Amino acid sequence: MPVFRKVLPLLPLTLMAVAHADGAVAADTVPSVATPQAAAGAPLSKARQQSAPASPSTRTMPAHPELYALGALLSRNLEGFQLSEAEFAAVRAGFTDGFHHRPSTETAQSQVPQIQALQHTRVMAAAQHEEQVGRTYADHMLARAGARKTSSGIVYVPAVEGSGAAPSVSDQVTVHYTGKLIDGTVFDSSVQRGQPATFALTGVIPCWTEALQLMKVGGKAQVVCPSELAYGERGAGAQIKPGATLDFEIELLNIVPAASGAVAPEEPSP
């Protein structure tokens, strides 16, 4: 399913962590936002500490890669906490003690409210950072020729003016699109899959519902979606962080009136 579609609220996080034999955390689990402080839950003025452990490319890989992979996958449950190395060491100690059923972990359940509060604080701090960076990006895009900003905050940059009809909110449309993060990373693309997407305008993120009504069949446009009109503070998947601004290149291929009863095809996951 393409990521631009509406998604259900995320389920509560199941807190899990794992200790590698050498105490290293998987490299692909480290987010790019600033590392939070332990006590106050506020972001530090610098990124991760310089004493980060060696990456897998500079040390001997474990004898049991499937167990290493288990640890790497479990560690992804910690991403929202934006842990420093010192904080991860505390989590690792708790995981080890829990694995061995040591008495010191018997009161861990009572800390669940504090854990949830810490996660919420840090996710919100990361989201605010993403929103700020996104606003700067949107302002930059607004300087492009023909760009305009809608009252809701969408930056719409026409590339090719279509000559056909414009869809209404009750229509289905067929489009080709490429979705990028503001750093240029492609997170979803019907163009790369070689198959256009068909969907109802009421079944996608608000940014798309609004932007596609500005287009005509045959038209192409670049659409910068602010976080609040995309996935907001919850983000989507592994790539779209909470608070992320998204950049789409969209080509409107066809309009399928709702009265036709057409059914949108199921899209493969990106």
205 is catalytic: yes
Looking at per-residue pLDDT, the higher value among 24 and 141 belongs to 141
188 is catalytic: yes
94-103 pLDDT tens trace: 999 999 999 9
Predicted confidence (pLDDT) at residue 215 exceeds the cutoff of 80 = yes
The pLDDT assigned to 16 comes to 38
Looking at per-residue pLDDT, the higher value among 25 and 219 belongs to 219
Q: Answer for the pair 217, 254: CB distance below 8 angstroms, yes or no.
A: yes
177 is catalytic: yes
What sections of 6-110 are H helices per DSSP?
65-75, 85-99
The pLDDT assigned to 54 comes to 53
Among 39, 46, 231, 45, residue whose Cα is nearest residue 118: 39
Q: Domains of the chain (ranges plus CATH)?
A: 146-260 (3.10.50.40)
211: amino acid identity, one letter: A
Predicted confidence (pLDDT) at residue 57 exceeds the cutoff of 50 = yes
Q: Answer for the pair 22, 59: CB distance below 8 angstroms, yes or no.
A: yes
Catalytic residue among 68, 81, 199, 248: 248
Catalytic residue among 81, 95, 188, 199: 188
Q: Answer for the pair 129, 243: CB distance below 8 angstroms, yes or no.
A: yes
Predicted confidence (pLDDT) at residue 175 exceeds the cutoff of 90 = yes
The pLDDT assigned to 64 comes to 87
Mean pLDDT of 153-181: 94
Predicted confidence (pLDDT) at residue 201 exceeds the cutoff of 90 = yes
The pLDDT assigned to 4 comes to 56
247 is catalytic: no
**How many other β-carbons are positioned within 10 Å of the β-carbon of residue 184?**
7
Catalytic residue among 154, 182, 205, 240: 205
Which region among 3-17, 57-71, 88-102, 207-221 has the lowest average model confidence (pLDDT)? 3-17
CA atoms within 13 A on the CB side of 179: 23
Percent of the chain whose predicted confidence (pLDDT) is above 70: 73
Q: Report the alpha-carbon distance of residue 135 to residue 227 in Å, rounded.
A: 9
255 is catalytic: no
- At which residue do the structure tokens 């609004």 appear? 210
The pLDDT assigned to 80 comes to 76
231 is catalytic: yes
Q: Answer for the pair 38, 118: CB distance below 8 angstroms, yes or no.
A: no
pTM, two decimals, is 0.64
